[in-house]
A = this chain, B = another copy of it.
Amino acid sequence: MSTTKPRGPYAKGAERREQIVQTATDVFATEGFEGTALKRVAELVGVKEATLFHYFTGKQELLTAVLAERDRRGRELGSAGENGLAALVPVAERNRGAPGLTTLYAVASATANDPGHASHGYFQDRYARLVEELAADIGHKQQSGEVRSDVAAESLARLVIAAFDGLQLQWLYDKNVDMAQGLGELIGVLLAPQAS
């Protein structure tokens, strides 16, 4: 039997993959996900449709890659290893500048509830990880007395993440809603040192 040596993606392939994700991000954000045919993405990249299927099993998986990439960039906004609270407001501000992508995320996070949806696992993991990370950050601040400790860190984390998603939804319906300010107010009140 012949031994197969997996070499991983060539540099060119990795680049092409990124290019596809970037193009798909733009076109999904401007023309919608359902409304966009993969053929359109392929044209803009300058490859045949079949090439897309080489990198992604299907349209849904490409969507997952687009969402994951957006997520990854969001993490970079939390400057220097800040995985917790400090990253939230910058991400909200970025999202304000990208309503199309934000809609894409909001729709996907709701529809991927169906266990049969290709992004179901992605969102399940994402929320679990977000809660875990934020709860850890909050837990440290509770021990140092920066944050009230009469409510469990995980509960506080879930509430902050929930408010983030919910404010985003309200903003999508009314662009006068100030997500960053709302989050700031929540953090100021909810995560203040204990009162009594």
By a beta-carbon cutoff of 8 Å, the part of chain A in contact with chain B is 32, 103, 106-107, 109-111, 113-114, 123-124, 127-128, 131, 148, 151, 155, 158-159, 161-167, 169-170, 172-174, 177, 181-182, 185-186, 188-190, 192, 195
Bound state CA distance, A108 and B164, in angstroms? 19
Secondary structure type dominating chain A contacts = helix
Q: Which of B124, B170, B192 contacts A173 (CB 8 A)?
A: B124
* Chain B proximity of A189: nearest CB distance (Å): 6
* Chain B proximity of A99: nearest CB distance (Å): 9
Give the copy number: 2
Which residues from B are CB-within-8-Å of A148?
A: 189
* Chain B proximity of A126: nearest CB distance (Å): 9
Which residues from B are CB-within-8-Å of A151?
A: 185, 188-189
Asked if A174 meets B124 with Cβ closer than 8 Å, knowing A159-B185, A161-B166, A192-B195, the reply is yes
Is the beta-carbon distance between B174 and A170 smaller than 8 angstroms? Answer: no
Is the beta-carbon distance between A173 and B123 smaller than 8 angstroms? Answer: yes
Which residues from B are CB-within-8-Å of A32?
A: 114
Is the beta-carbon distance between A113 and B185 smaller than 8 angstroms? Answer: no
Which residues from B are CB-within-8-Å of A172?
A: 113
Bound state CA distance, A111 and B169, in angstroms? 10
Q: Which of B103, B127, B182 contacts A170 (CB 8 A)?
A: B127
